[in-house]
Amino acid sequence: MQRSEFTPPRWLRSPHVQSVLSSSPLRALRARRRLHRLGATHDAVVLDVGNGVRLQGVHSVSPGADPRGLVVLLHGWEGSVDSNYMRLTAARLLDAGFAVFRLNFRDHGDSHHLNEGIFHSNRIDEIVDAVRAIAARWPTRPLFAAGYSLGGNFALRLALRARSHGLPLQRVLAVCPLLDPARTMDAMETGLPIYLRYFERKWRHSLARKRALFPQAHGFADDVLQLRMRALTEWMVLRHTDFATLDDYFEGYSVAGERLRALPIPADILMAADDPVIPVGEFARIVDFPNVQVELAAHGGHCGFIEGAMLDGYAERWVAQRLVAAS
């Protein structure tokens, strides 16, 4: 396991300060300004990925540039293409000479209207199809993927399927990726309540929006929206997936244990030892896998890695630097 060079000043060493500052309004303003200053074009795209599924994203490229590659960026659960880390990472990549496609999972960002079915974390097939569609639309560029949190989990599952599903991915990167969903749920339930409450609030809002758009398909009562995270997840699993139990559902998108040993392409992982959402112990088990490289920082919180008062993030710089070195 590689020790990270990320060392924030003392006042930024709390994992909770790191995690909260990552999504702060000041950082959002910085993200919008940095992306705007580059002068890149940002085209909204709706991908028809088959079986009636449509996914939304944004393709960005610097005018007149011959990109050194195309990077598909995947956000975390209840994030979107406009999340701070997505915009800032896109800016870093554009500045480094890459084209970028920021992909929304279904029911994230402003995409609830595109599909009747509800998002869940085992919808990997449509993400595979989306990446295949992106590769077909821009076929001359080397293809990479990078994701944060749940997006990191999706990136690693894309890597596992790269050869068997005909994805021309050359490398994936994951920041604070979710490896074991069951253990992550346990950690959130026993940790500082702010994180569980944050995701519960965001998910309830998403489900209420889905119900308003498709009342004929989602006629659940308001009491469902008051369920706590574990109970709400089980409700969703039993009614909107083919899994028989919550444990089966968690196993369906887990990449813990020996799963990543079979990675056919390289994967770089950046993790913080003090992540309050993702248990760090799982990462010690994968450091010796052939195509896995783990960089562990002592601090950083969950997808934070804030470097100083300007709210720049080491993670965005890390993604760009790793891909420059690989391309």
pLDDT digits (tens, 9 = 90+) for 123-161: 999 999 999 999 999 998 899 999 999 999 999 999 999
**CA neighbor of 176 nearest in space, from 49, 303, 261:** 303
Work out the average pLDDT over 74-103.
Answer: 97
Establish if 102 belongs to a structural domain: yes
Work out the average pLDDT over 186-203.
Answer: 94
Catalytic (active site) residue 36: no
The residue annotated as part of the active site, out of 180, 268, 274, 275, is 275
Q: What is the pLDDT of residue 141?
A: 83
Residue 278 belongs to domain with CATH number: 3.40.50.1820
Rounded CA gap, 134 and 15, in Å?
35
Establish if 206 belongs to a structural domain: no
Establish if 169 belongs to a structural domain: yes
In terms of residue numbers, what domain contains 54?
A: 2-180+255-326
pLDDT for 65 beyond 90: no
Average per-residue pLDDT in the chain?
Answer: 96
240-291 pLDDT per residue, tens? 999 999 999 999 999 999 999 999 999 999 999 999 999 999 999 999 999 9
Establish if 189 belongs to a structural domain: no
Establish if 64 belongs to a structural domain: yes
Catalytic (active site) residue 149: yes
Establish if 120 belongs to a structural domain: yes
Match 């992306």 to its residue by tokens: 35
Catalytic (active site) residue 240: no
Domain count, the chain: 1
Establish if 221 belongs to a structural domain: no
Percent helix / strand / coil, the chain, rounded to 5: 45, 20, 40
Neighbours of 251 (CB within 10 A): 16
Neighbours of 96 (CB within 10 A): 18
The residue annotated as part of the active site, out of 59, 108, 112, 302, is 302
Rounded CA gap, 146 and 201, in Å?
26
The residue annotated as part of the active site, out of 120, 149, 268, 274, is 149
Q: Work out the pLDDT band at 1, boundaries 50, 70, 90.
A: confident
